[in-house]
């Protein structure tokens, strides 16, 4: 059985907790296609649009630790992941978002519960309002956020932010 899953991300390792918990609780013989989605506002400037490249945008948003952490998760749950990629959502309307879900044949959406996704980049857009209104099953995931970790932000964080679901 294959499932297409959408998970919003803000390129922090903490936000990958959702991915971890989804994969931990996966049913037997279920393989996921995971899309980590980040909303980005398209520029109004014509020159910006002319030289717009999704790969470059992703590179500027992402960081080495996040990529490595994704790699660790991919290796850990190799049998549960069919594909896992980071994608950008450039739209600015509910219809565009519904179209995106349709185009990628998303079955389920997992969102963090208490954790607030950061919009660290100026162009970042919060996609949660679209998610709440899209009509697909939305499951929220929670974890213990009170613990102060010395390794915050580094790759080591992936090992210790236990999801409690």
Partner 1 sequence: MRKSLMNTQTKIAVMLIVAFLAIIMLFSGWVYFAIPGFLHDYYYDVLEIRAVAAGKMELDKDQRGLDDLRSVFSEKLMHEQDYFFKIEKNKDFKNEADSLGIPLSFFETALNEGGARYQDKQLFYVAVVYPSKQGNYVIVSQAQDYFEESFVAYLKKTLVAAIIIAFCVSLFIAVYYSKYIFKPLREITEKVQQISSENLHLRLDSRNSNDEMDELIHTFNDMLNRIETAFETQNNFISNASHELRTPLTAIIGEADVALSKDRTPEEYKTSIKVMLEEAEKLDAKTNALLSLAQTGFNGKIQRFERLRIDQLIWDVKNTVEKLNPKCNLHIDTSLLPEDPMKLMIKGNEQLLHLALANIIANACKYSDNQKVNVSLGASDDHVVIVVKDKGIGIPADELKYIYDPFFRASNTKNYAGYGIGLPLTRNIIKMHQGKISVSSLQGGGTTVQLTIPAWRRIDE
For residues 119-148, which are near partner 1 according to CB under 8 A? 148
Q: CB of residue 150 vs partner 1: minimum separation in angstroms? A: 4
Do the Cβ atoms of 130 and 97 come closer than 8 Å?
yes
Q: CB of residue 12 vs partner 1: minimum separation in angstroms? A: 15
Binding residues for partner 1, rule CB under 8 A, total 24
Does position 31 interact with partner 1 (CB under 8 A)? The reply is no
Determine which helix (DSSP H) or strand (DSSP E) holds 109, and give its type and residue range.
strand 108-112
Q: CB of residue 98 vs partner 1: minimum separation in angstroms? A: 34
Does position 71 interact with partner 1 (CB under 8 A)? The reply is yes
Q: Report residue 45 as tokens.
A: 């400037």
Q: CB of residue 51 vs partner 1: minimum separation in angstroms? A: 22
Positions of E strands within the chain: 2-8, 31-40, 81-89, 108-112, 124-125, 138-141
Do the Cβ atoms of 158 and 16 come closer than 8 Å?
yes
Does position 159 interact with partner 1 (CB under 8 A)? The reply is yes
Distance of alpha carbon 46 from its chain centroid, rounded?
29
Does position 155 interact with partner 1 (CB under 8 A)? The reply is yes
Angle, vertex CA 165, rays to CA 80 and CA 66, nearest 5: 60
Q: Which residues sit at the interface with partner 1, rule CB under 8 A?
A: 67-79, 148-152, 154-156, 158-160
């Amino acid at each position: 059985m294959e499932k297409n899953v959408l998970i919003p991300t803000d390129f922090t390792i903490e936000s990958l907790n959702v991915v971890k918990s989804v994969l931990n609780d996966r049913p037997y013989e279920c393989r996921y296609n995971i899309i980590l989605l980040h909303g980005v506002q398209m520029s109004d400037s014509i020159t910006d649009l002319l030289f717009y490249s999704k790969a470059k945008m992703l590179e500027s948003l992402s960081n080495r630790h996040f990529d490595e952490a994704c790699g660790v998760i991919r290796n850990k749950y190799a049998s549960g992941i069919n594909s896992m990629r980071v994608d950008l959502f450039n739209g600015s309307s509910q219809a565009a978002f519904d179209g995106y879900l349709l185009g990628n044949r998303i079955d389920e959406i997992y969102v963090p519960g208490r954790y607030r996704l950061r919009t660290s980049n100026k162009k970042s857009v919060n996609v949660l309002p679209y998610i709440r209104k899209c009509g697909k099953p939305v499951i929220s995931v929670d974890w213990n956020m009170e613990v102060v970790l010395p390794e915050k932000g580094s790759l080591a964080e992936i090992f210790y932010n236990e999801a409690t679901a």
